[in-house]
Amino acid sequence: MTDVDLLVAGAGGGLAGALRAAQQGLDVLVVDTDPNFRRGNNTSMSTAMVPGPGSRFQRAAGITDSPQRFLDDVARKTGGTADVRIASALAHVGAELVEWLADHVGVPVELPTDFAYPGHSVPRVHSLPGRHGAALLRHLADAAEDADRVDLLVPARLVEVRPRPGGTVCAVVANPDGQHEEITARAVLLATNGYGADPGLVGTHLPEIAGATYHGGEHSRGDALRIGAGLGAATGYLDAYQGHAALSAAARTLVTWAAVMHGAVVVDTGGRRFGDETRGYSEFAAELAARPGGRGWMVLDERIDGLCRSFRDYQDVLDAGAVRTADSAAGLARVLGVPAAALEAELDALARVAGGAGGAGVDVHGRSGVVALRAPLRAVEIVPALFHTQGGLLVDEHARVLDTAGAPVPGLYAAGGAAAGISGHGAAGYLAGNGLLAALGLSYLAAGHLARPVPAARPHAPEGAR
Ligand SMILES: Cc1cc2nc3c(=O)[nH]c(=O)nc-3n(C[C@H](O)[C@H](O)[C@H](O)COP(=O)(O)OP(=O)(O)OC[C@H]3O[C@@H](n4cnc5c(N)ncnc54)[C@H](O)[C@@H]3O)c2cc1C
């Protein structure tokens, strides 16, 4: 007998595992070290975008998609370096997951179809009105608080997991006084995110982004790596991360990259563009960090400004007074303090390419679908940021943590930033939504696996029958 069936450490994406397990009749305890987890963890800070390839929401919008198409996009974005087993498991559960969020958790799922995020060949990242993770987490946390079979213990930090006979585990949980409580469980799900808040680990594994602002949950301190190491767990992809090139310097919130997908461009402090922004916001973070001063400006116009107002993050940027306006390129350059000739040349080049033969063309950076920006112009000062790490404990398609020989560690699952994700190495393999897909999706898969009936032991054959 154990105290609970499943102990979930981390009330972010881990809540999906808690709810799914409870739905299947398991008793669950969720512990979180952060008393303000509802507003402080990565899931709550996110834009709430979750890929669901082949979902009913896509079908209703007339979008043809499939797990294989998503896998092809993952392979293209990661240069074929993503863990295929995990990518496939998440590709095949994505649609079920977003539909379950709508039907079981009550999330008002919607599918933005006016643009596709970098690397997605079709609109497939589902979100909810306002496109903010605080609302997503509120739905998950409220549902967990209402669920009979789910208890929440907050603040409480998982510090160790010990093996017990029969493949069960003992979770050692510290309360704020430093006192330890031992809780036995059939399994522990590590959903404690990655190591983005640990500058030492970031310096070791992610030197290219170590100097950038960290904009993620402050309790992402690598606990899963330490706890997993105590049980012989293997790690992988520790150099993988999600960066973002567009944190508003003034508002300290995200300027949505949807602005870029609608035509905005990024210039450095010299007023110059330095790449194809539509390749992806994650890899663009290190590229911006390497520019003089390590900061720049996102330049847009009134049309794009209007298209971005459905994002709560962009509204926050507006409310903070961080969006500058001018009636001409020269006027905007004066407001921003960048060389006017450089900015004018960049905007003229955009207009030339956009107006070229056949309409929107390809610019010198290889960006296609370029559009002209028309006065009145807008700009937001941006700094590069590290949002979360994508490497961690190696898991299988059921989210079971693997040891260095590739065998499952009994009673241990991992999800989200605690586990190695599907973004390959570095920053460039990150596709929008693959953080939450790994957080919610692996948790969901872990719960489903634990709830499966244990196969009955084979009856012992009599001696003579062998
Ligand atoms: C601004 C921003 C926007 C983003 N937008 C998106 C997006 O739209 N789509 C997407 O896919 N990804 C997005 N991401 C990334 C995404 O937020 C993360 O990949 C995802 O939320 C990670 O979920 P998680 O459950 O692993 O971690 P979290 O949501 O951070 O949850 C981990 C929890 O574990 C707790 N914890 C830590 N250690 C312990 C311990 N030892 N014991 C108990 N509790 C512990 C923490 O307090 C925390 O509450 C974004 C990130 C940021 C910062």
Ranges in the chain annotated CATH 3.50.50.60: 4-240+390-451
Atom of ligand 1 minimally distant from the CA of 47: 8
Q: What is the pLDDT of residue 115?
A: 78
Query: Among residues 397, 400, 422, 404, which one has the least CA distance to residue 412?
Result: 400
Range(s) within the chain of domains with CATH label 3.90.700.10: 243-385
Distance, CA 1 to ligand 1 centroid (Å)? 32
Query: What's the pLDDT score for residue 98?
Result: 98
**If you measure from the C-alpha of residue 416 to the centroid of ligand 1, how many angstroms do you get, rounded to a whole number?**
7
3-state class (DSSP) for residue 458: coil
Superfamily (CATH H level) for 4-240+390-451: FAD/NAD(P)-binding domain (3.50.50.60)
CATH of domain 243-385: 3.90.700.10
- The dihedral over CA atoms of 214, 216, 220, 222, expressed in degrees to the nearest 10, equals -50
Cα separation of 141 and 14, whole Å?
10
Start-to-end Cα distance in the chain: 34
Among 461, 365, 401, CA closest to 230: 401
Residue 171 CA to residue 223 CA, distance in Å, equals: 13
DSSP assignments along 266-307, one per residue = EEETTS---S-GGG-HHHHHHHHHTSGGG-EEEEEEHHHHHH
pLDDT for position 359:
53
Q: Ligand 1: which atom is nearest the Cα of residue 415?
A: 26
pLDDT of 116: 78
In contact, 85 and 93? CB cutoff 8 Å: no
User: What is the Cα–Cα distance from 24 to 15, expressed in whole angstroms?
Assistant: 14
> Mutate which of 132, 192, 252, 389 to test ligand 1's pocket (most atoms within 8 Å of Cβ)?
192
Contact between 373 and 263 under an 8 Å Cβ cutoff? The reply is yes
Q: What is the pLDDT of residue 18?
A: 98
From the alpha carbon of 433, which atom of ligand 1 is closest? 11
**pLDDT of res. 465:** 41
* pLDDT tens digit at each of 466 positions of the chain: 899 999 999 999 999 999 999 999 999 999 999 999 999 999 999 999 999 999 999 999 999 999 999 999 999 999 999 999 999 999 999 999 999 999 999 999 999 998 778 899 999 999 999 999 999 999 999 999 999 999 999 999 999 999 999 999 999 999 999 899 999 999 999 999 999 999 999 999 999 999 999 999 999 999 999 999 999 999 999 999 999 999 999 999 999 999 999 999 999 999 999 999 999 999 999 999 999 999 999 999 999 999 999 899 999 999 999 999 999 999 999 999 999 999 999 999 999 999 875 556 799 999 998 999 999 999 999 999 999 999 999 999 999 999 999 999 999 999 999 999 999 999 999 999 999 999 999 999 999 999 998 766 665 544 444 3
Give the residue, out of 8, 46, 386, with the most ligand 1 atoms within 8 A of its beta carbon, to mutate for a pocket test: 46
pLDDT given at position 36: 96
Helices (H) and strands (E) in the chain, counts: 16, 18
* Ligand 1 neighbours (beta carbon < 6 A): 9-14, 31-34, 37, 41-43, 45-49, 157-158, 191-193, 215-217, 219-220, 223, 242, 254, 387-388, 416-418, 433-437, 439
CA atoms of 391 and 21, how far apart (whole Å): 25
Cα(326) to centroid(ligand 1), Å = 37
Distance 466 CA to ligand 1 centre (A): 53
Looking from the CA of residue 215, the nearest atom of ligand 1 is 53
pLDDT score of 325: 97
